[in-house]
Structure 1
Amino acid sequence: MAKADQIPVRFRIVIEQPVAGVRHSLQAKDDLPLDPKTSLAGEALHFDFPVRFEPGPKFFGDQVRREGPERRFVYIRVGQAAGDHGSPWSRRMKIDIHDIEPALLEQAARGGVLEIIVNGTGKDGTPACATVRATGRRVVPA
């Protein structure tokens, strides 16, 4: 399918309960931090970015990463990896998108924003890292 035939969707990752004072950012295609943000008191962080999809679904976009033939995900960089060289942490959160329900994608394609909500604090109280499972997915008005 040609790029022109792919369906654009607005995505938003919401990091609830991030560790206060720790910088987070999207990972850009060139592996650099993009849109760095820091929660001052544990308030949620929001990262918006465009994605394209086609039936299957298959996902495309500057923030979309691939692993194997089907797995697609987005990285959120944390601490040093997000550009804060004074942070004691250098991590990435891997947030899967390949398993999003087609009905949600279709709803978002009609003009909404597909939100993926994750918890930003690990069980040990430090910033979440590795594969972080979504605690919620929904479409909200644009």
Structure 2
Amino acid sequence: MKQELALRIQLENPPADVDFSLQKGSGTNYTILQKQRSGTQALVFECTVAVKLGADNQPDFAGVVVQGTPANRFIYINIGKSAGQFDSIWSRRLKIPLKGITTEMIEETTDDSSLVLETKVPGTGKDGGPACGTVKPFNGWYLAANTSSTSSTVP
């Protein structure tokens, strides 16, 4: 049975004056969602994804922001030119892994709408520019209070 799962990604300490967005779609056929310009605060992206149990009895994710193969699902955060900031020197994407989300975590959030699954990821890479590639180290997902309305999330 498919369920909807609320997710929140906090991008911490990104370099200033760079646009970031969620990616909807794949390849060169994508649109940007929730575009935000970095400043002094963390950037927050919220979305919902569909989840069901896969053939291996592990969660499998789907939806307009989900990328990758069943064993390696992730969400892209687009950066600079990739996020529609065409005068930016940056053209990057950051992979936010969905790995590590357990069936127990899914059950808790779907049973209690006051909860959301959240992750915090670094916004700045080793080169001082926006973080890109797969988040490393990735500290995983955890249960957090759902502080926003579901109408502001991406389907």
Same fold (TM over 0.5): yes
- Correspondence for 1:33: 32
Say which is worse superposed, 129-138 or 69-78, in terms of deviation. 129-138
1:5-50 deviations in Å (ceiling 9; x for gaps): 3011111111011111111000012511111001222x10011111
Deviation, 1:53, is: 0.8
- Correspondence for 1:126: 129
Q: Work out the percentage of aligned pairs sharing the same amino acid.
A: 38
Deviation, 1:80, is: 0.5
* Residues 1:58 and 2:40 are matched in the alignment: no
Deviation, 1:136, is: 4.6
Distance 1:119 1:107 in 2: 26
User: Quick one: which of 135, 139, 142 aligns to 2:143?
Assistant: 139
Match of 2:30, as an amino acid? D
Whether the aligned pair in 2 keeps the contact of 1:18 and 1:44 (CA below 8 Å) is: yes
1:42-98 deviations in Å (ceiling 9; x for gaps): x1001111111112211111100113x411000000001000001000000011103
1:11-26, aligned counterparts within 5 Å?
11-26=7-22
Listed as ranges, the gaps of 5+ residues in structure 2 are 147-155
* Residues 1:77 and 2:42 are matched in the alignment: no
- Correspondence for 2:102: 101
Q: TM-score, normalised by structure 2?
A: 0.82
Distance 1:23 1:102 in 2: 34
Say which is worse superposed, 52-61 or 95-104, in terms of deviation. 95-104
Distance 1:135 1:16 in 2: 13
Q: Secondary structure at the residue paired with 2:16?
A: coil
Whether the aligned pair in 1 keeps the contact of 2:94 and 2:135 (CA below 8 Å) is: yes
Distance 2:127 2:110 in 1: 37
Q: TM-score, normalised by structure 1?
A: 0.89
Match of 1:46, as an amino acid? V
Distance 1:135 1:128 in 2: 15
Listed as ranges, the gaps of 5+ residues in structure 1 are none
Aligned residues: 136
